[in-house]
Chains A and B, each alone.
Chain A
């Protein structure tokens, strides 16, 4: 039982990270109907920025996280302006290929700049207490991570549902053209969406590094795909869906790692993909999505 609880908590932690990244996917998809394949790589860039802020500039961790969030947000907006904006009216395929290309660009630029050898994120959790559950212990940072992630999601929800700008975002995701006619500055809203999504990814990167302190140019790929799957699981385009999907996927993965015999350890990644396939077969609109209504 103890084992189960610790695994569950681990699942919540990785789930919180997936949820934060999934939010970026879902918000961008909701607004411009694009799978931003580069989103996972934005998380990777966020990790590098946090790393340099922490170990080269000697900033404290919370400032390093803030710097990383701001830097990644700016990068996200720049990417949208340069690469995606010219393609707003182009075919979906063109936009999708561009997203793939941006992902490649970030990975390979980082590889040339920082080399492919992994860097170690400094341990910031060494002095923190641990909490014992039965006979195993969990570092308090795990709980802090989960709490911070949830707090951030609550803020995001309030922002989207209660503020004028947040409502404008919802309006744009409902119908971009109509929103424009209502006097909403669509370009601003899209940029804002990229900024928020990217900042959340950077925050997720910092949380990720607490548990997996390795930084390398391809580190964003797998969490990126998994977070996308989380977004689909919850219902792509739906903000609360991304949160639920993220946590659920984290728990599923954590349980799979815990209970699948180690001989098949390599297959645990596949479990996540199995989730995707099942969702697409059974309820493609996701857990919280409404069935897609085709506009004819």
Chain B
């Protein structure tokens, strides 16, 4: 692992720890009452849902209209394990989270088979149908408690658990995106024909992203089951799926930190506005239409709030280089590393400004470039160093 990378990871871990300990301390000292604590937990769960949906919609580019359905699969699986396994509470919770993820993933695989082989918007329709069918199914099956739902699920979900599951979710999605698999997923979003012509098995990677997305939704469901204690099929209806879609679009399709920001805002807002629930879906629909027409990229677009953003923000605030950078979030996800490598040659000063801003933890991957290493030994590549051995030939002894 390149040294700069290690530093970047450490900074991110430190930032997460810092946010965690501040909030945790506030909870322990009773500065945050139990009402707000439950909202905090809900924010984390919604963030996991939004990030996972963002993987399918913002990063892969497929519209998923039944994401609450995958959450339901995870929730019911985990709840049934907790209620029936007879294991110790935390063991069964761990088992529940894992199995919830797996069952949701398997469900997504089955749902994806007919739709993901095809070009076009079939996944939207299939997932829409899936969202309807799963609630019907839960209602009519015996072991799911039918329309009455499941009661008495142990309340094991607390702030530390959801917070660290959120961090894990962020890490997984980031780690995925900055890899050959992730680039394949982005390529499919950009142009599936060109992706296939670049040697990418489009169906395979669509399925990969979709299944991982559903697995994370399953995790969120498992957490939700042990947060609420009660599960009813109605909870996971179409509107609930739409809630997450609104968060993804609002935060920015493709932006992980944007998803968290949106989850924070759109989780708190309904709690603050009295009588909001009657108008919520109406406002959401207008918000969606307006966003699509005027700012289809959402709040952050594909950009991320990252270390670099805070560094720049810090610099501006402390007046070091106030004139340099105009828009603070103007760093496209996928360009960050090379871009900065080529233009800024790694800004030396670190410093995690603004870590007090909740939900904007700096993330593992957005920092320093992989290309860094090359930056140092910039012996001329290509033309002359390669001699007569064609450079591409070294990649693989295919012939």
Name A's B-contacting residues (CB within 8 A): 35, 83, 86-87, 90-98, 100-105, 107-109, 112, 221, 225, 228-229, 232, 266-267, 269-270, 273, 276-277, 280-281, 284, 292, 294, 296
Contact = CB atoms under 8 A, between A and B. Distances in A.
A100 B282 contact: no
Contacts of A91: 61, 296
B119 interface: yes
A112 B292 contact: no
Given A101-B285, A102-B285, A112-B278, A96 B121 contact: yes
A101 B289 contact: yes
Contacts of A296: 193
Interface of B: 57, 61, 63, 65, 113-115, 118-122, 124-126, 128-129, 132-133, 136, 139-140, 193, 238, 242, 245, 249, 253, 278-279, 281-282, 284-286, 288-289, 292-293, 296
A97 B63 contact: yes
19 contacts: A35-B121, A93-B57, A96-B63, A96-B121, A97-B292, A98-B292, A100-B63, A101-B288, A104-B242, A104-B282, A105-B289, A108-B279, A108-B281, A225-B129, A270-B133, A273-B129, A276-B114, A277-B126, A296-B193
Nearest to B63: A96
Contacts of B118: 280, 284
B284 A97 contact: no
A269 B119 CA distance: 26
Given A280-B115, A296-B193, A100 B288 contact: yes
Given A267-B140, A273-B133, 4 more contacts: A98-B289, A232-B125, A269-B133, A280-B122
Contact of A276 (B126, B193, B253, B285): B126
A232 B129 CA distance: 14
A91 B297 CA distance: 11
Nearest to A278: B114
B193 A277 contact: no
B129 A276 contact: yes
B136 A270 contact: yes
B61 A93 contact: yes
B282 A108 contact: yes
Contacts of B193: 294, 296
B63 A112 contact: no
A152 to B, nearest CB: 26
A216 to B, nearest CB: 15
A64 B245 CA distance: 38
Contacts of A98: 288-289, 292-293
Contacts of A270: 133, 136
Contacts of A292: 119-120
Nearest to A221: B238
A97 B139 CA distance: 29
Nearest 4 CB-CB pairings of A with B:
A101-B288, A104-B285, A105-B285, A280-B114
Nearest to B241: A100
Contacts of B114: 276-277, 280-281
Contact of A87 (B125, B242, B292): B292
Contacts of A95: 292
B296 A94 contact: yes
A104 B132 contact: no
Contacts of A93: 57, 61, 63, 253
A104 B281 contact: yes
A292 B126 CA distance: 19
A202 B119 CA distance: 31
A189 B393 CA distance: 55
A294 B292 contact: no
A104 B285 CA distance: 6
Contact of B285 (A90, A108, A229, A277): A108
B65 A35 contact: no
Contacts of B249: 97
Contacts of A232: 122, 125
A90 B294 CA distance: 11
A96 B279 CA distance: 22
B285 A97 contact: no
Point out which of A91, A97, A281 has the most chain B C-beta atoms below 10 A from its C-beta: A97
A142 to B, nearest CB: 28
Contacts of A83: 289, 292-293
Contact of B292 (A90, A267, A273): A90
A266 B125 contact: no
A86 B293 contact: yes
